[in-house]
Amino acid sequence: MQELTERELVRGCLDEDRRCQELLYARYARRMYAVCIRYARHQLEAQDLMQEGFIRVFDKLKTFRMDGSLEGWVRRIMVHTAINHYRRKAFQMERFGLEHVPEEGVPSTAVDQLGEQELLAMVSSLPDGYRMVFNLYAIEGFDHAEIAGMLGCGESTSRSQLAKARRMLQGMINNTTTPIHAGRTSH
C-alpha cells in the first residue's frame, strides 16, 4: 500500500476505500498539522482545524484534477479552512499599540539559537490577525492583494498587520535573549 501513487490513492479514496483514506491521512498528517499549528492559537484549535480540513479534503477529493501536486492541493484546503475558521469568528484586526516598538534588525545568531518549536510558539502567540497575515505572506507566499481578498480586508490593512507582526516577532526574539527582571503578579 505504501507504494501507491497519488492517482491510485485518490481513486481509492473516491471509492471509499478505508485503507486508502488512512494512507492519505498518514501521508500528509504531519505536514498539515504543522500548518494548522501555525494558524491556530493553541493545540486544540489546531486539532479542530486539522479535523475540519481533512473532512473537507475527503469531501472535495472528487474535484481534484490530478494535474497538480496532491500535497499542494491538501495544503491549500488546510489554509482555506483556517481562513474560513477565522472569518467565521469575524475576527478583527487587532490594534495593539506597537508603534513604539522600534523596527530593528534581528541578529541572525539570535534566530539561529531558536528551534522550530520556539519559532512555532512565537507565531502561535501572535494575535489572530497578525498571525494570519504573517503566515499567508511570509510563509505561504501570497501577496497582499490575495490576502486582502481571502480575509476580506484592505491591502493596506494587510500591510500594516504584517508590519506589526514582524515587529512583535522581533520583540519576542529579542526578549528571549534578554532576561526579564520584573516581578509579575496576575489578578
Partner 1 sequence: MREEHPIDNHFREALLGNEVEPPPSVWEGVKNGRRRRRGLVFWSRRRGLAVITLFVALGAGAYWAVRHDRTEDLPSVTLSNPSTAAEKTFPATQSTEQRPAIESTSEATITAPISPPPVVADESIAGNPIVISKRSSEQRPPVDEEHNRISVPPIAIADAAASSGIDLSLSTEATTDIRTALSALSVGPIDRLEPLRSHLRVQAPTFTPETRMVPVYVLPPGEWWLAAQLGWYDVRRQWKGSDTQLSDALNASETWTSTIGVGLVVGRTWRSGWGFSVGAEHEQSEQAFRYVDRVTQVDQEIITSIVTLNTEVIASTSDTVVTQVLDERVSEGMDRRSVVRVPLEGHWRASWRRWAFGVSVGVAGEFTHVTSGAILVRNEPDGRITTAATGSDELRARYPVVLLGTVSAEVGYVLHERWNLWASPAYMRTLGAFEQGSAVYSEPERFGLRLRLSYTFNGTRDR
Which residues contact partner 1 (rule: CB under 8 A)? 22, 25, 29-31, 33-34, 37-38, 42, 44-45, 47-48, 50-52, 54-55, 58-59, 89, 105-106, 108, 111, 114, 116, 119-120, 123, 134, 137-139, 143, 166, 169-170, 181-187
Least separation, in Å, of the C-beta of 81 and partner 1? Answer: 12
Nearer to partner 1, 17 or 45 (CB): 45
Nearer to partner 1, 63 or 186 (CB): 186
Nearer to partner 1, 4 or 172 (CB): 172
Nearer to partner 1, 54 or 73 (CB): 54
CA dist 29 and 33 (Å) reads 6
| Residue among 128, 119, 121 nearest 95 (CA) | 128
| 161 residue type, one letter | Q
- 170 grid coordinates: 522581533
CA dist 154 and 8 (Å) reads 42
* 86 membership: H or E segment, kind and range: helix 70-88
